[in-house]
């Protein structure tokens, strides 16, 4: 994959949820994604950044939004949400639909997965989590 | 714009046109839309269909959508799931969706597959769907008074 | 902090969301709507989302919560103007908002509220459930 241009935003407070999703939506629009995909992407970013604000220990992290390309898919958007929070205790459970109980890292992951084309979660207990999602333009 | 971009645009446009031709959204009455689907339904097609349908609901302010799947050859779990999503999305726009043309055999198949069409209003034909739509909107079709008018022809199964 | 203007028109409180809401603004909207309902004795809420382009699970759940609360307060709510892209996204997220009545635009929304107000009677207020026709429950 070849990365082309990128935006990096801090996640430190609730305000950053809106800022990140707005930015993601704008980049998606510029890359030619349709209105529905823009909505999917922005919503996915909202879910992921909220996870960080709500559940990462000091609610800090960073979101990176970048254009990506592959030989079979010329235009795509990749978003990486990273934090140094407590990590996800049970990733399998977090990825199971209906996992909505209380506070805990990983809320909203199944929904986000459905909105995006690809998702990778890298989580180390006590160290942090990195969630990478991608959407390809049709 | 490079030639390749132009080609991609043309292909996208053609895809859109084909999509529109295959799933025409018809305004059969004030506030009633009909969507007769012809051919198999896959993810991409359902996605296009959804967008077109929802936009028509907004543009026409329609409250009822009659989704006719008589001509959809295979209705499996995946197609059923897509249809349910269409129905749910239309609901969020304040429109109720009637599913017509669901054969008894397909219904049984879906039950066996564990797909629940709970809360989905179904009818066997477009005509019956339309009849229900009128009823829902408080409308009635009445024969004209006067000797010149012939007796109202009953609708047969094809709605003809 | 973004504020959602709420105006009273007849028996209806009309709230129009004009920008992307922070979580705390959505919470504040809920509080204010409930407060205004109690205070004003209005029996309907029209929540206009025509301008909203992003509705995530937080706002989605908030809409559900507001709908429940409004009913408990003996009133009805209709959400209008959900954009097609938003509707599709919500459904894919798994949020169907079954407990929220919707209409395609404010005009239809007001009509629906009127019908709901006419249909709802004492039984309605005691049970806390919505009225008859249309929308979705």
Chain-wide mean pLDDT for chain A? 88
Which two three-digit tokens encode residue C85? 């892209």
Give, for C126, the enclosing helix (H) or strand (E).
Answer: helix C122-127
Give pLDDT, residue A101. Answer: 45
Give, for B33, the enclosing helix (H) or strand (E).
Answer: strand B32-38
Q: How many CB atoms lie within 10 A of CB A12?
A: 14
User: What pLDDT, in 10s, does the model give residues B25-44?
Assistant: 999 999 999 999 988 888 88
Contact C136 B136 (CB under 8 A): no
- Contact predicate B50/B23, CB 8 Å: no
User: Minimal Cα–Cα distance from B82 to chain C, Å?
Assistant: 10
Domains of chain C: 6-127 (3.30.750.24)
Report the relative pairing of strands B32-38 and B26-29 from DSSP bridges.
antiparallel
Contact A36 B44 (CB under 8 A): no
pTM of the predicted structure, to 2 decimals = 0.86
Which two three-digit tokens encode residue A25? 């939506």
Interface with B, mutate which of C50, C81, C91, C94 (most B CBs under 10 A):
C91
User: What pLDDT, in 10s, does the model give residues A41-91?
Assistant: 999 999 999 999 987 777 789 999 999 999 999 999 999 999 988 888 888
Question: Is the per-residue pLDDT at C122 higher than 80?
Answer: no
The CATH classification number of A2-136 equals: 3.30.565.10
DSSP 8-state class, residue B153: P
Touching chains, C (3+ CB pairs < 8 A): A, B
Q: How many whole angstroms separate alpha carbon C15 and alpha carbon B157?
A: 47
Partner A contacted by C61 (CB < 8 A): no
Domains of chain B: 23-135 (3.30.750.24)
Question: With contacts defined as CB-CB under 8 Å, which chain B residues touch C88?
Answer: 50-51, 54, 85, 89
User: Minimal Cα–Cα distance from C127 to chain A, Å?
Assistant: 28
């Amino acid at each position: 994959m070849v990365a082309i241009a990128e935006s990096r935003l801090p996640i430190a407070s609730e305000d950053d949820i809106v800022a990140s999703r707005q930015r993601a939506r704008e980049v998606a629009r510029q890359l030619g994604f349709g209105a529905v995909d823009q909505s999917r992407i922005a919503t996915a970013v909202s879910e992921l950044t909220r996870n960080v604000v709500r559940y990462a220990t000091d609610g800090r992290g960073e979101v990176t939004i970048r254009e990506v390309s592959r030989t079979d898919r010329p235009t795509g958007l990749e978003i990486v949400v990273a934090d140094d929070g407590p990590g996800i205790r049970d990733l399998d459970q977090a990825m199971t639909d209906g996992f909505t109980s209380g506070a805990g890292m990983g809320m909203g992951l199944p929904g986000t997965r459905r909105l995006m084309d690809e998702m990778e979660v890298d989580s180390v207990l006590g160290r942090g989590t990195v969630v990478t999602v991608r959407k390809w333009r049709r | 714009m490079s030639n390749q971009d132009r080609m991609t645009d043309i292909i996208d446009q053609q895809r859109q046109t084909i999509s529109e031709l295959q799933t025409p959204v018809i305004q059969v009455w004030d506030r009633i839309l009909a969507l007769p689907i012809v051919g198999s339904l896959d993810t991409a097609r359902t996605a296009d269909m959804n967008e077109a349908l929802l936009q028509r609901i907004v543009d026409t302010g329609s409250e009822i959508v009659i989704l006719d799947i008589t001509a959809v050859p295979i209705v499996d779990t995946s197609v059923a799931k897509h249809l349910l999503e269409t129905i749910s999305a239309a609901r969020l726009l304040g429109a109720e969706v009637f599913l017509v043309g669901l054969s008894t055999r397909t219904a049984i198949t879906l039950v066996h597959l564990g797909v629940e069409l709970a809360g989905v209003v179904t009818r066997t034909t477009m005509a019956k769907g339309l009849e229900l739509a009128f009823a829902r909107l408080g409308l009635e079709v009445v024969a004209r008074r006067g000797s010149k008018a012939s007796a109202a022809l009953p609708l047969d199964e094809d709605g003809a | 902090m973004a504020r959602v203007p709420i105006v009273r028109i007849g028996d209806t409180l009309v709230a129009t969301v004009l920008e992307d809401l922070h979580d705390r603004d959505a919470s504040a909207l809920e509080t204010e709507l409930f407060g205004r309902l109690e205070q004003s004795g209005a029996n309907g809420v029209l929540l206009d989302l025509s301008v909203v382009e992003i509705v995530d699970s937080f706002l989605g759940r908030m809409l559900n919560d507001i709908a429940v609360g409004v009913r408990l307060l003996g009133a009805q709510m209709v959400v209008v103007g959900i954009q097609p892209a938003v509707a599709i996204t919500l459904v894919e997220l798994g949020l169907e908002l079954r407990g929220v009545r919707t209409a395609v635009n404010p005009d239809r929304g007001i009509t629906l509220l009127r019908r709901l107000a006419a249909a709802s009677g004492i039984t309605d207020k005691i049970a806390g459930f919505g009225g008859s026709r249309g929308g979705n429950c």
